[in-house]
Structure 1
Amino acid sequence: MPRSRTLQSRAFLNVAAEAPASAGPMHLIPGTSSLRQDCVAALEDRLQETARCVRSAGTVNPKKGSTVYVGSPGIAYAFLKLATIQTGDQKQASLDTAQKLLSPDVVEAGVEQARRHRSLGPSLLCGPAGLFVVQALLGWQQGLPFASQSAVFQGAVQSYKQYFDYAVHELDSDEWLYGRAGYLYGCLFLNFLAPGSVSEAKIKQLSMKMLESGEAYGRRTGASPLLYSWHDREYLGAAHGVMGIVYMLMLVEPIRTDPNAMRLVKGTLEWLLTLETKHHNWPAVRGETDDYLCHFCHGATGAVFAFGLGSIVFNNREFQKAALRAATCVWKYGLLKKGPGICHGISGSGYALLMAYKLTRDPIWLDRAADFALKMFDEKLQADSRVPDNPFSLFEGLSGAICFLVDLLKNPLKAAFPLFELGF
């Protein structure tokens, strides 16, 4: 029996989305932007329970799980995130767990994968480049306050940079999951941890290659100032498509100070506006009319980030309105049946709601993010949800939920979607 291709079929009914605006926040102290103590306590309990569950699951077979997306490195990232709100023995236990998950066997399996399939080398999510980003993060946290001098950090940075030339000159993809946009994020993140880890000249070279590639393809199609193809399909969303690529370009200082580059990026965002559907969603691929996917990887969830950052970079009110329309779609259709993950699960939807909160400082968006976090652990929703193929992983499973809960509890205004938004 074919799967139903509607927004409603992919998500649980969000009754709260039908409530009148006058109903007000559900989980905030009245008149504030602070979560109620009972909500905080419930979220802390869920976080501790989830961390115990993931830790007890043990490591992933290195030969099957050496990637950030579904393997041990992504789970390690979640425990490094968890350590940021811990102290003493608890913090050390999380750091030790992360180190165990990044064992020499895992690292070797990732490197060997790239030897067999060179195109996977620079992949942030599905190759060893992402593994080395997480290893650098481990070294950075272990070495504080002299993180940049950490031997683990320095070694991981050098290992990451070995894929630079291939990424620029030979890689045939510009998207985030496998391509240049993801590798660019890794460069920017390493500099976020320790400025100067990757030279500005290299970052400019890589980002200009992405710009030139998109401009050439856009010119051939006549569709948009920048356009990209992955496996012969012109994806629009954050994972494989133009939304994720232009988001990464907007993070790059040499791009933001280049008038021609900014003209191309702004024009591309304006073109994406014309593809918005009646649900304030976007099709997965150019030319399609179906808009049944409301995930981070495809659809409105990624649009919140692309238009949200665009509204800041260009000081553009129309882009902010588009981001908030997309966030409203996420609020209505984001209680996804695919589980708690960040790529196509409820935690990813929650991060989009936090992005709306950061854009507006309107506490209603924080309230909605907290509501998703609580509903994610509702027993009935869990019973009726699909069990992810990799239930403990960062992008499909509970490790993504750990990151979302940490950001919600720590400082929602500095929340950062793992390995996409620049922050930690």
Structure 2
Amino acid sequence: MFLRATALQPASKTQTPAHLEQLDWKRTYQHRPVEAFRARDRHGEDSQERRLMARLMCHDTATSDKFYAMDLTVDQARKGRLLFEQAQEETTRSRTRRTRPQSEKRGGDAEIRCGKEESAARIHSSETPLRDRLPVHISRMGDQVSKLKQLSSSDMEEQRFFQNQNQDYVDQAGSGSGSEERANEPLDEEGKVSASFQKKVQSKIKDLLQQMEEGLKTADPHDFSTYTGWTGIALLYLQLHRCSQESSHLQRALDYVKRTLRILNGRKVSFLCGDAGPLAVGAVVHHKLSNTEESQDCLNSSVLSDSDLSDELLYGRAGFLFALLYVNREIGEHTVVSAILDSGKSLSQDQKKTERCPLLYEWHRKQYLGAAHGLTGIFYMLLQVTRNTWGGRHLHAAAEFVRPSIDYVRHKKFRSGNFPSSLSNESDRLVQWCHGAPGVIHTLLMAHQEEKYLKEASDCSEVIWQRGFLRKGYGLCHGTAGNAFIFLSLYRRTKERKHLFRACKFAEWCLDYGTHGCRIPDRPYSLFE
């Protein structure tokens, strides 16, 4: 962490590579907080070049992992970075000399330097090649950057995911071939998850829980959130208790709930990143343990007091609404739903989109489509209200405004079956829960009473099967596990074996945790990262 923070401090003007100067990288990133910087890179909203430099300079590519792992002092780290940048200039200069016509090479040094005469002079004055003066790990970083900078746009997209090497499900209708049955493992002849695969999953869960508990010893003691903190771990154990009925899992959930309730700060209200998540999970855990008074205390604390909020799922009203829905479902007022509807109608009118998209929302002045910050995450929560009797007078209003708004989003689909991250973005890049088809599919399935939504959800799942094994890691938000839930949801709706088979293949991949060379998130033992 220390070295990553150091890497955010730009070098002096004479030492900064030309392509970074052209992007005005120093002015853009010098005063940005570390977490905000990583968040923008994580959710993919920077330009392609800036995201590339973010990964190389302060994120978790395979090469930078080696660099950060070195036990360096501050001065050594800064010197290493300076040498690294100079090596990049030297590499660029050498490549340019090899490719330019001979007539253009005479006197070409000044042109190649691009205003960096001092830095270039220092490099040429050394008798020893600069690459030989670099530590081996930093030298290899230069090789990696050189390769990445030559990638085309399509090659860059390739770097976001692993090629799916799995054979797809084989329909055995009218065939009793033993080879086809083996091809469909881990499903048995009846199309159910085989006993051997279930045993493998259960064994791996125990191993990963031990690994997680060990890793949590160094986690942030003040992070109470569901997204990256202790409440997410409590929710994990609560889900394990639901599946296994082991009392030890429920007791472990209580241990983490007690920890979170001591450190709430009242700054945010959502389920994933605010107080509502810990309070909702705490209410459910205490309820299951018959601690009536403690459960009621958690419920009484779940009050929305700030009316000046965003509407999206991670930090805003939709996130608070999810907390209310969760408590209502597990334990079982309208002002939250009303505020979300009024806000969406107001922005739609301002943007003159009332007829096409009656409900429109934005976060940080950008109209996202994905589940985390965008339209589909909000629509999903509003559709949940229409399925609950407590929706009251908002039941009809939500259905009336949400469905045409979902249709508006459907028309933004790419030919691949994926969706853009925002209304202003036309690139087919991200296939993850927070941005792209996975989050949209969950909303389509929630609206599946009409056949067109269910068919479109199934069609869009193909892009997840092809591009869903992500290099970002295994998490729920922007990792492979989050994509796997699409196939579980489709199987519940359709009972088609293909979707269960694909979910198992994603599970197999995730069970080989840490063996694929994925990027390591800042909080690798959290629920969503």
| Corresponding position of 2:22 | none
Amino acid at match of 1:332: Q
| Corresponding position of 1:289 | 426
CA distance in 1, matches of 2:420, 2:516: 29
Amino acid at match of 1:25: N
SS for the counterpart of 1:239 is coil
- Greater Cα offset, 124-133 or 58-67: 58-67
**Percent of pairs identical after alignment?**
28
SS for the counterpart of 1:109 is coil
SS for the counterpart of 1:373 is helix
SS for the counterpart of 1:57 is helix
Which of 156, 164, 170 is the matching residue for 2:308?
Answer: 170
| Corresponding position of 2:477 | 343
Amino acid at match of 2:359: L
SS for the counterpart of 2:262 is helix
* Superimposed CA distance per residue, residues 28-79 of structure 1 (whole angstroms, 9 cap, x where no aligned partner): 112x231112211211111111112222334565654211111111111111
Which of 12, 22, 25 is the matching residue for 2:184?
Answer: 25
* Superimposed CA distance per residue, residues 251-290 of structure 1 (whole angstroms, 9 cap, x where no aligned partner): 1133797444323211111111110001100111112111
* Superimposed CA distance per residue, residues 88-129 of structure 1 (whole angstroms, 9 cap, x where no aligned partner): xxx33323322222335x323222xx2xxx4x1x12111122
Aligned length: 363
| Corresponding position of 2:412 | 275
| Corresponding position of 2:264 | 110
Structure 1 residue 10: Cα displacement = 1.2
CA contact (8 A) 1:17 1:331 kept: no
Which of 64, 67, 71 is the matching residue for 2:229?
Answer: 71
| Corresponding position of 1:368 | 502
1:308 aligns with 2:445: yes
* Superimposed CA distance per residue, residues 177-198 of structure 1 (whole angstroms, 9 cap, x where no aligned partner): 0001110111111111222xxx
Within 5 Å, give how 1:204-215 maps onto structure 2.
204-215=334-345
1:52 aligns with 2:210: yes
CA contact (8 A) 1:76 1:98 kept: yes
CA contact (8 A) 2:223 2:230 kept: yes
- Greater Cα offset, 129-138 or 58-67: 58-67
Which of 337, 342, 352 is the matching residue for 1:222?
Answer: 352
CA distance in 1, matches of 2:218, 2:294: 22
CA contact (8 A) 1:110 1:128 kept: yes
CA contact (8 A) 2:201 2:511 kept: no
Structure 1 residue 378: Cα displacement = 3.0
RMSD: 2.3
1:97 aligns with 2:252: yes
CA contact (8 A) 2:472 2:519 kept: yes
Amino acid at match of 1:137: V
The 1:69/1:341 distance shift into structure 2, 3 A limit, reads same
Structure 1 residue 226: Cα displacement = 1.1
Stretches of structure 2 that go unaligned for 5 or more consecutive residues are 1-48, 53-152, 173-179
1:127 aligns with 2:265: no
Structure 1 residue 134: Cα displacement = 1.6
CA distance in 2, matches of 1:57, 1:331: 31
| TM-score, normalised via structure 2 length | 0.65
CA contact (8 A) 2:169 2:501 kept: no
| Corresponding position of 1:407 | none
Which of 368, 372, 384 is the matching residue for 2:517?
Answer: 384
Amino acid at match of 1:322: E
CA distance in 1, matches of 2:316, 2:394: 24
Amino acid at match of 1:222: K
| Corresponding position of 2:300 | 158
CA distance in 2, matches of 1:284, 1:255: 33
CA distance in 1, matches of 2:202, 2:395: 45
Amino acid at match of 1:387: I
* Superimposed CA distance per residue, residues 382-408 of structure 1 (whole angstroms, 9 cap, x where no aligned partner): 341111211111111xxxxxxxxxxxx
Stretches of structure 1 that go unaligned for 5 or more consecutive residues are 144-148, 196-201, 397-424
CA distance in 1, matches of 2:280, 2:378: 19
SS for the counterpart of 2:289 is helix
Within 5 Å, give how 1:402-413 maps onto structure 2.
none
